[in-house]
Each structure stands twice: as C-alpha cells, then as structure tokens.
Chains A and B, each alone.
Chain A
Amino acid sequence: MMGKSNYSNEFLQELYRRMLLVREFELRAIEERRQGFIPGFIHSCVGEEATAVGACAALSKEDVITSTHRGHGHLLAKGGDPKYMMAELMARSTGYCLGRGGSLHISDFDLGILGANGIVGGGIPSAAGAGLAFAMRKEPKIALAFFGDGASNEGSFHEAANLAGAWKLPVIFFCENNLYGEGTPLSKAAGISDISKRAEAYGFPGICVDGNNVIAVYEAVSEAKQRALEGNGATLIEAKTYRFRGHYEGDPQVYRKPGEMEEWKQRDPIPTYRKTLLDSGKFSEDEIRAIEASVQQQLDEAVQFAKAAPMPQPEEALAGVYGNDHDGLVF
C-alpha cells in the first residue's frame, strides 16, 4: 500500500492526520447536531476519507476544487480550517460563510475551495470554467471537481466533461463512486458499473482506483495533474469507495445489501492505513497516538471556538447579496 515512490515520513503521517481529522470532524459534527447545536443537514463522508485526502494531497494551494453536498472531507483535505467550518455548521457569524451557507455551501477562496454544493453535479461546470481561466492565462494550475456516482448521471457532468474534452482543459473529474446515489444503487441508475468508461466519450482518459487506498488516490491524481499541466487535458478518475453512514444523518438506510457494510468495513481506509504505517517500521505506536491526540485537540478547539462564536444579527441577512455597489440593498 505504500505506493510507487519513497515518500517522506512527514508526507505519510500527514495523510494519516488529515484522514483522521476528516473522520473525527464528521463524528463530532454528528454528535453536536444530535445535541442540537447544528440546525441543518449533515451528509457525512465517514468511510470516504481516502478519496478527499489522497486527491487534495496531489494539489497545490493554487489549484482549485469544487465540492459536493458531502464536502467536509474535501474542504478539510484542501486545508480548510475546522474552526470556521464548525462555526458555520453551528450557524455562527464567524463561520466560513458568516452563517449564510451552512454545510452545503462552505467555501474558502484563499485556499482554492470554490464551494461545496447543494445541487448534485452543480459545481462541475465551475471547475471547467476555472480550468478555462487558467489555460487562457497560461497559469500552471488545475481545477478538480469532486462529484459522486449519482452526479455522473447529471447533465452538468456531461456538459462540463464535453467542454473539457473539446477545449483540452486542465481539469480532473474526480468521481467518488460510493455505489449509491442517495438510496438507489448504481446498478439501477446506470447501464455501466465503471463510471470511468464515460471519459472515452469525451476524448480523455478514464481510470479506476481503489478509493480506500489514500496512496493510490494520491498517485492517480498526481499523474492526472501532470498530464493537465503539460497541456494534455482532462482526466476522469473514478475512486471506488463506500460511505459508512447514511446519505444524511437520519437516513434509515433500508437500501443496503446484507453484509455489504461489514465487507467494506474490513477495508476502512483509516485503520488500514494506520496498519500500513506501523508495518512499514517507519512509525512507532506512540508516534501514531501522538498524531491522534493532536487531531482530538484540534477538534476540541474547533468545537469550543464554534460554541463561543457569536450568532448573526438578523439584519446581517441583507448583506452580501450584491457587490459593493449595491451591498446591503434589497431591491
């Protein structure tokens, strides 16, 4: 599982730290919601940490991503601050979106996070547009669109992929195939089981990777990024993975096949990778535990920050609809 190259210890442990941060952030958010601190939806990505972390590890700060309704992992993996994320989930005025967006709309333009999205497939054309801008300005940057198997049936995916193919854009279409679009299995929603095959129709490569293997994901995205930067256009990467919780918190999950969850839990990306790190002999149990403790501390601080953060004033709802010319005006 350690991949092709001889990676530095710092890099290898950072992958572990990030995946754990994503997992534990989600579990904290679920608990805080249960206690009534989070008013809105949560679509957790528990089980899918390796896709977000592996993909974003291959990107620079200047590269951009578009995310999805299941976006917390993407944002944290791209460098998003759990403090401001948790404050946004708790609807506070110091959250990432000043309490106006919530889980589905978190963005951080300084980190190249163009936004989570409440519409399935809604962010994919933006990634094509960002890629177009980079190509026009001859900047060595790429755009990566995260989306699910469900979104791969949306017109927005096909239109954006076609643009990227026609214009050879520096874009990575990164499909997290977790086998279900909400509650409907992919086998009922599409005539193919490998979404990656759709790339051929748009004139660029499509590949499948093990989405629960963070190194495999990292390497696939690194390669696709290299292709894009060399002017060879887009790649569709399909990462097969599985979510361990419902589509949303509260989903009764009546659609799962018996035994499926147990089977995938054997391949839980976090304990699997933890074991790999220990087996490599490069890390001691104590070192791993120190990482785990630091993640917990970071999240304790995030939750404390969010709970201490001010609620918005009602009149703040009127700001930020328009730019400076008309800011605060409601027509």
Chain B
Amino acid sequence: MREISYSEAIREAMCEEMRRDSTVFLMGEDVGTFGGVWGVSAGMLKEFGEERVRDTPISENGFIGAGLGAAMVGMRPIVEIMFADFLMCAGDQIVNQIAKARFMSGGKAQVPLTIRVMTGAPGSSAAQHSQSAESWFMNFPGLKIVVPTNPADAKGLLKSAIRGEDPVIFFEHKMLYGDKGPVPEDDDFVVPFGKARIVREGSDVTIIAIGEMVKKSLKAADQLAEEGISCEVIDPRTLVPLDKESIIRSVAKTSRAVIAYEAHKRAGPGAEIAAVLAEEAIEYLDGPIYRIGAKNVPIPYSPILENDVLPNVEDITRAVKAYWS
C-alpha cells in the first residue's frame, strides 16, 4: 500500500468528503491562502475555492458558533482551530451550545460538525500553545472526542467524523503530522468510533496510550522486551466513545495497567480510564494502575523545563518496572 503522511491523510479525507458531498466545507484561521499554519489544507483552496475553503477572522467563538448554525440548517462544516489551547476562546459555543443542541431540542437538532484541532507539545511553544485538551471536553455529554495516532486512522476517523451525525473534536498531534504510514486509497475507507486498536500484543503489562504517547509507549515496550517484560500497547483512538471492552479484555490478560497521555496527569484522560478499570476490572489487577502524564504545572518555554514536565519513554519504563520492584 502507498504511504502518505498523517497530514496528507487528513487532507485526503477532507478532499474526498468535499468531492462526494457539497455540504462539506472547511473554515478556520488561515486555512485558505496560507494552507493552514500546519500546512494541512495546502492546495485545497485551488480545488474548492474560497467559499468552501474559507479563511475566517481570528474569532473562534464566532466561527465555531457559525459552524453550529450552518450544521443545524443542513451543512457539514469542518472547522479548524489552530491550537487546542484556543478551544477555550470558543468555550460557550462548544460546551453550552454545540454539545447540547441535540439533547436540549429533544433529539431534533442535527449537528454534524467536525472541529479539527492541533494539539500537544513540545517545541518551546509555552503554556498557551502546547496543551493537550482532550479531557477538558470529555466531561460534556454530546461531544465525541477523537485522537488519531497514525496516518490511516487519521484518514478513516476523520471521514467517520465528517459523515457522522454528531459534533466531534478531532485532536491532531503536531509531532505526528510528518509521520508516514500505509493509508488505503479507497474513498469509503472509514474507521468507526469506539473501537480501540491493539498496536502491539503482549502478556505482562497493558499500556493504554493516547495520542503521541503511542509512539513513546512502543519505544518503551521495545526497551522492556529486552529486559524480558512483554507489553501490550492499546490505542483507544476515540476517548468518547471509549472502547472499555477491549481495554478490560487486555487488562484481564496482563493484570497490569499503565495509562500514558501527554495531558496533565491530574484529571487527564487517563484518570477516566483508570476509574473505569477500578470500577469494572479491579478483580483482574495485580497492582496499582499507573498514570503517566505531564506534571501538573503549565507547559514551560525553556526546552530544559519543558522536557522535565512532559511525560517521556523513561517515565513509562519506570512505571512498568515498578510492578516488579
């Protein structure tokens, strides 16, 4: 199969959906002429024109809210937010309007709205341009939270989001944009929500890895294998809905669970997964559930400080080895 990058896979998903459905359009800051500050929408303006690849003012609450209005009258907008940190500028629209519109209307409001957002560190982008915002929005029923970790999933999950019926926040990790991998060319290749992927099979410890931490977890698993510890790495792919079944099945096999995510450790996405395991799988567990997340301080600017705050491969190996110390 041909290989393309995560960034190209996202663009391909958008282009294919825009070709098959005239109600799909993209808007966001600098998505048109600029091609997106991350280059994800490069070239799309030429194919689809200014109406459907729409540069917006720097006005997140306004244009995310406009996405809701357009969705409610029959469009399928894709709205790009440049940094996950900026989602909070649109907090009311996302949390009080978009998430709740269907429910409050007795199921009648249709909100097929995809919010694509760049997330994560490092890069000395400091405290307002580095955050992993997934768990902020897990507490709002009505949203779906998607975290693709490789090119094929990025394409397939984005197509599911665009074709779906519900508002989705789609978190694209900036350190993954350049990663290449095999991606199906089939127009109808979609990846369903709520299905975790076993990235690596193993028998001693389950590492549930979110976003870019999948790569770090695989490195940790390689190192641990040399020491005779067999790790299973699971990528939930979507946090809402969460594939509890696959996660619990793996933990039932390994009896040990480590959850790795780049968000702050406290109340990050792993906190919810740990709670699920404590409630529904405690009988399988032979030790504590360890969470590996960023330290609970704002993400610092200095590379030395930033490196200290963010979770790394060694944090994962240390947590795993703690079961035998």
- Whether B109 pairs with A109 at a CB distance below 8 angstroms is yes
Contact indicator A136/B108 (Cβ below 8 Å):
no
Which B residues, 79 to 126, have Cβ-Cβ distances below 8 Å to chain A?
92-93, 96-97, 101-110, 112
Which segment, of A112-120, A223-231, A263-271, faces chain B?
A112-120
A residues 112-133 touching B (CB-CB < 8 Å): 114-115, 117-119, 122-133
For the complex, give the distance between the alpha carbons of A101 and B103 in Å.
8
Known A-B contacts A156-B62, A159-B61, A330-B141; the reply to A128 vs B242 at CB < 8 A is no
Q: Quick one: CB contact mask for A192-230 with B, threshold 8 Å, 1 for yes?
A: 000000000000000000000000000000000000000
Tell me the count of chain B residues lying within 8 A, CB to CB, of chain A. Answer: 48
Contact B105 A126 (CB under 8 A): no
B241 with A124: CB separation less than 8 A: no
Query: Are B142 and A130 in contact (CB-based, < 8 A)?
Result: no
Interfacial chain B residues near A118, Cβ < 8 Å: 96
Q: Is A321 a contact partner of B57 (Cβ separation < 8 A)?
A: no
Question: Which residues of B, 220-248, contact A by the 8 Å Cβ criterion?
Answer: 240-242
- On whether the beta carbons of A132 and B70 are closer than 8 Å, the reply is yes
B86 CB to nearest A CB, Å:
13
Are A319 and B107 interface neighbours, CB within 8 A? yes
Given the complex, which residues of A lie within 8 Å of B62, measured CB to CB? Answer: 125, 128, 156, 159-160, 162-163
Q: How large is the interface on A (under 10, 10 to 19, 20 to 34, 35 or more residues)?
A: 35 or more
Chain B residues lying within 8 Å of A132, measured Cβ to Cβ, are: 66, 69-70
Chain B residues positioned under 8 Å from A96 (CB to CB): 105-106
B69 engages A143 (CB within 8 Å): yes
Q: Does B182 contact A (CB under 8 A)?
A: no
Interface of B is mostly: mixed
Q: Are A136 and B75 in contact (CB under 8 A)?
A: yes
Chain B's closest residue to A126 (CB) is B69
Interface residue from A64, A101, A319, A326 paired with B73 (Cβ < 8 Å): A64
B14 to chain A, nearest CB (A): 17
Q: Show 28 A/B contacts (Cβ-Cβ < 8 Å), sorted by A.
A: A95-B106, A96-B106, A97-B108, A100-B105, A101-B106, A107-B109, A109-B105, A109-B110, A114-B109, A115-B104, A125-B66, A126-B65, A129-B67, A129-B69, A129-B71, A129-B73, A130-B72, A131-B69, A132-B66, A133-B75, A156-B65, A159-B57, A160-B66, A162-B59, A321-B102, A323-B110, A330-B141, A331-B240
Smallest CB-CB A-B distances: 6 pairs: A125-B65, A129-B69, A323-B165, A159-B62, A320-B107, A126-B69
